Structure 1
């Protein structure tokens, strides 16, 4: 913003917007900085009074930070929340990922790392308010923006609209989700002070009836706390819903943004729902960086104008498993495993220099007493271990579920697996017999990255950038191993984000036919004790695609560490059945975070699925290496 906000107040004084952005002294800010333990009257929740928020009739300033419970190991939720409080924040914001909570149609999960109620309860215990972003679309750089992939089984699906197939699924989801959180609303003595509807709908808006439908869906199910929308400055009016408080993201903030805010909700407080230091990183590109001095300049100006603020992310955490999505900027950009995001805590929950700077600033302007600050957790360097056993992917196929036979290619979403809900993540293998040679052309139908083999001989890759391969002989099994690298998290094309082979692949001028299709979703139960007892000793250095097994023996108190996959090429790492995420030697990320609670005293099984060349040695370090 570079002093833009301060100048803006002067520019807007003649239009009546000055009152909307009036600043206050530090004493006034301190009086508005209330925690749950300080409010006894719970009859009136978060409201707008002139240019201020009130909560329980008291002036109130929201100072929030985003923590995604699903990106932080459950054992460390309390640590992250206490560090949020100690920094000077009074509120935690979190998003609720539909695709993780309903991975199969009608099957809901709220346990372990997905125990939303436990996270909300813990926030209340440590004296923090909660802003809950219910979606159903949340963005958050997740696969399909947090929408379940089984929605795309409907070939006519129109996501984020009032299309009957979408609203029926949303209603079923809300019928299960909303009753779980009703008793945690402010009016019920709970910590939830606001609920965000959808996310940045103004940038997507294709159905003017959709946001009013979401509002009604929440209110009729008992949501009584303040409802909010959240849009970038340029899309504010397109995402606005009557009688719903409009908040803004930092992006595209201009004079017109504040004029629009005033036109729809008068001299109201300003809530900057997403103030972000940087952004996510993508494979094959340099790491994003931040400018702390510019960051603090913006925040100081927002405090002078008495803006409420949400810092995205306070603790980014990790895209464990395959949860990360992708972006598009003329080219396909799959996100790395770390969701460090330039947050005030590192991926593993350690303090950053930015955290200490913000803590000092918040204490100076809020006049709130400092709180006990947890120590950083120790990190250890375990002794390197060798992957002494392996199984090639081809050897394991006979032990898997029977393949699906199909004349034409079938996308992941259309497979008859997971009780008819299709395949969401991981890999999928297509096999067919060819009887002639020639040019293999994907015609853009490989989503996202397909390794091509003749029998077990690697030929090349088909992906977004490479759509042709040559040199095939007669009467061989042609195999295409396709990886879903993450569905787009946002944009108008998410309705088309099906994965695997989404259409015909041609050999010469003829489309390939008669496929055997193997689902390789690689869920935890498949990796942990699910692999057959046909491990072979690695007497030489085998090439992938293959599974590699290493055993790590630990003492009685395992602690956090990082796995360095130097010398390996591309794949996925599992520890005791937990999917740590992807690695890839094109960078920028070089290490994978391994939380101590996912380790156990005694033997720990590390299984690596390596697509190409292995190093056999698995190394550990006590610091993350996320690139430059």
Structure 2
């Protein structure tokens, strides 16, 4: 089936096939929701009165290594878009290549940083060549799903918030041509906050705005730029993300009033997020300014549907509002009943060697993963010392490092903590630095500076340390499978601990809680649920029922410093003490 006229923005109102079109939209990211729950979440969104799904496409997940592409299972974008079509939803696709989305490096693959001259989000040849390779794989998958070819995709967004970053006037034109030359023919969009509207656009694409509260000046600025075009609030933020060490953010201002006013003015809207889900594994990004802060794995976002897909008061208020514009809403679905499992588990540890190097090597340039370096996780650097003294990081540690002498913990390097005393001792001793990539910054002008691990010399008594043995702890399933065979009963810190969870019948959702543990990572049946950290705010990790088997399930925990040797399972999340978003 083919259609002649897609989504059009040539007048003050959107039209689809020549008819007036209003698209209340909602963001649900396939890569943050277990595939088994895709249908549930999208049906709940449609039942609220939403007719358009928006989703980002994370380059870093689809191309984790330069020669490796993944569009299967959890990352089957075609299946996700086809499911949306089956449910009667239109789709706005946001393929980047940079997407932000509060992901590590804004969704860009870290192997790009192996190029020491890399200039991300520019027309630097090393970047554009990589984008072209990715688009050569991605775009053919979505071409048949465009509206004019009978599919649900009615619009495609170019990049994301480039007006707040823009350093290269030719870059957005390159992205536009890269999509159109490969066959993208639907309406093109750009999306910026109020600071980026003036410089974020490109000829041939309609500009849209992002906001949390309706600011008349933002709308006026957008209308001044494109006076004869419809207004689309591409991201009306329903909440916000959380960072380690802060409080849990909730948006108590009247979201419904903002949405009501947007609809009253005849503008179109997309709720970001409608359902946030979880940034499983090491997906989460970080902030650089005013100081470095890493995001938690929960992407609950205080959205209308919770991290576990349950209804909230926001959902019901929005559904009531949208019902005034659409009297034919789908019936509400019954949410999954969460499981309550309180088994307590004992666990144990292991480790695996990779490479040696005369000087420090950042994780992106480690000779691992078929020459693609290490993207996420921890890296352990060990060398021999013959004296104590003053150890200086020179701000060359990204982002935290536990420091050990002969495997005895002596201190922690982190941002603004640049010196550490090494105790005196006899003979040769092993100095170990366990460096964690807490998450690459996902926005701003520091993207090119996001190499992790040791990025320069570490000095002991002002002498650079040399001859490192380097252990790559990337925490991939292959890594987990490799070391599990060699686990012992001896408990060492930092270490890996393993146990079993027994689930019966059809497992339901639950939340992992680790009271008495410090900081680390949780794996269920080889799947990385994400980081935990006692400083909060997040105190539980969401464990979707589809991640569990009926019967025995393997649990592995990597813990840095302390463990209670027990893990609890709760029926409700604990995202921490809340603070209003101003």
TM-score (norm 1): 0.89
1:342 equivalenced with 2:280 (yes/no): no
- Taking the aligned partners of 2:420 and 2:544, their CA distance within structure 1 comes to 41
2:387 aligned residue (436, 457, 482): 436
Q: Deviations over 1:338-385 (max 9, x none)?
A: 001111100010001100000001102x13312122111011111322
Partner of 2:561: 612
Number of residues paired by the alignment? 575
Once residues 472 and 517 of structure 1 are traced to their aligned partners in structure 2, the CA distance between those partners, rounded to angstroms, is 23
Aligned-partner SS, 1:517: strand
- Is residue 492 from structure 1 mapped to residue 453 from structure 2 by the alignment? no
8 Å contact from structure 1 (residues 385, 550) kept in 2: no
Alpha-carbon displacement from aligned partner over 1:419-451 (angstroms, at most 9, x marks no partner)? 101000000000000122111110101100100
- Structure of higher CA gyration radius: 1
Among 414, 432, 442, which residue is 2:365 paired with?
414
- Change in Cα spacing, 1:546 to 1:250, as seen in structure 2 (3 Å) is same
Larger mean Cα displacement after TM superposition, 463-472 or 94-103 = 463-472
Give the corresponding residue for 2:435: 482
CA contact (8 A) 2:385 2:429 kept: yes
CA displacement, residues 519-573 of structure 1 (integer Å, 9 cap, x when unaligned): 1101012224642234216xxxx45211111111222311111111111111001
User: Where in structure 2 are the equivalents of 1:169-180 lying within 5 Å?
Assistant: 169-180=130-141
Taking structure 1 as reference, are residues 59 and 153 closer, same or farther at Cα in structure 2, changes over 3 Å only? same
Is residue 119 of structure 1 aligned with residue 60 of structure 2? no
8 A contact 2:379–2:473 mirrored in 1: yes
Distance 1:533 1:228 in 2: 52
Identify the range of structure 1 (433-442 vs 183-192) with the bigger mean alpha-carbon deviation: 433-442
Q: Is the 8 A contact 1:250 1:274 kept in 2?
A: yes
Does residue 301 of structure 1 match 2:261? yes
Query: How far apart in 2 are the matches of 1:106 and 1:58?
Result: 44
Q: Which residue of 2 aligns with 1:591?
A: 540
Q: How does 1:126-205 map to 2 (within 5 A)?
A: 126-205=87-166
Q: 1:78: how far off?
A: 0.3
Q: Distance in 1 between matches of 2:420 and 2:173?
A: 50
Q: Give the 3 Å change call, closer, same or farther, for CA 594–259 of structure 1 in structure 2.
A: closer
Once the two structures are superposed, the pairs formed by residues 29-44 of structure 1 within 5 Å of their partners are: 42-44=3-5
Matched, 1:330 2:290: yes
Return the match for 2:209 from 213, 235, 248: 248
Other structure's SS at 2:168 match:
coil
Q: Distance in 2 between matches of 1:80 and 1:256?
A: 34
1:472 aligns with one of 411, 417, 423: 423
Is the contact between residue 233 and residue 254 of structure 1 (CA under 8 Å) also seen in structure 2?
A: no
How much does 1:256 deviate?
A: 5.4
**619 and 252 in structure 1: CA distance in 2 versus 1, 3 angstrom threshold:** closer
Alignment partner of 1:310 is 2:270: yes
Unaligned runs of 5+ in 1: 1-39
1:580 aligns to what SS in structure 2?
strand
| Alpha-carbon displacement from aligned partner over 1:183-217 (angstroms, at most 9, x marks no partner) | 00000010000000000000000000000010000
Are residues 1:214 and 2:175 paired? yes
1:600 is matched with which residue?
549
Greater Cα offset, 134-143 or 524-533: 524-533
How far has the Cα of 1:484 moved from its partner? 0.5
Secondary structure, aligned partner of 1:324 = coil
1:83 aligned counterpart, secondary structure: helix
**Match of residue 461, structure 1, among 388, 400, 412:** 412
Query: Match for residue 27 of structure 1?
Result: none
Contact 1:482 1:500 in 2 (8 A): yes
Contact 2:239 2:273 in 1 (8 A): no
Counterparts of 1:374-453 in structure 2, within 5 Å, are: 374-387=333-346, 389-391=347-349, 396-397=350-351, 400=352, 402-453=353-404
Distance in 2, Cα, partners of 1:259 & 1:378: 46
Alpha-carbon distance change, 152 to 485 in structure 1, aligned in 2, over 3 angstroms: same
Please report how far the alpha carbon of residue 325 of structure 1 lies from its aligned counterpart in structure 2 after TM superposition. Answer: 0.5
The more displaced of 334-343 and 555-564 is 555-564
What does the per-residue CA deviation read over 1:279-317, in whole Å, with 9 as the maximum and x for residues that have no partner? 11000001112115x212211111111110010000000
Verify the 8 A CA contact 1:232 1:252 in the aligned structure 2.
no
Aligned to 1:626: 575
Partner of 1:6: none
Equivalent of residue 582 in structure 1, options 531, 535, 550: 531
| Aligned residue in 2 for 1:269 | 230
3-state SS of the aligned residue for 1:385?
A: coil
SS at match of 2:196: helix
| Aligned pairs for 1:5-20 within 5 A | none
More displaced, 556-565 or 604-613?
556-565
Gaps of 5+ in 2: 578-582
Q: What SS is found at the alignment partner of 2:389?
A: coil
8 Å CA contact 1:528–1:576 kept in 2: the answer is no
1 CA distance for matches of 2:246 and 2:502? 36
Following superposition of structure 1 onto structure 2, how do residues 279-290 of structure 1 map, counting pairs within 5 Å?
A: 279-290=240-251
Q: Is the Cα–Cα contact under 8 Å of residues 209 and 222 in structure 2 kept in the other structure? A: no
Q: Per-residue CA shift, 1:215-268, capped at 9, x if unaligned?
A: 000000000000000001221121110121111111697655445434443321
Q: Comparing 460-469 with 164-173, which one deviates more in the overlay?
A: 460-469
Take 2:272 and 2:160, find their aligned partners in 1: how far apart are those partners? 14
**Secondary structure of the residue that 2:301 maps to in structure 1?**
coil
Query: How big is the alpha-carbon RMSD for the aligned residues of Structure 1 and Structure 2?
Result: 1.5
CA offset at residue 42 of structure 1?
2.1
Asked whether the 8 Å contact 1:571–1:610 carries over to 2, the reply is yes
| Partner SS state of residue 369, structure 2 | coil
Contact 2:223 2:231 in 1 (8 A): no
How many Å separate the matches in 1 of 2:573 and 2:481?
Answer: 26
Q: Deviations over 1:56-98 (max 9, x none)?
A: 1110011100001000000000000001100000001000000
Which of 319, 337, 342 is matched with 2:279 structurally? 319
Pick the structure with more helix per residue: 1
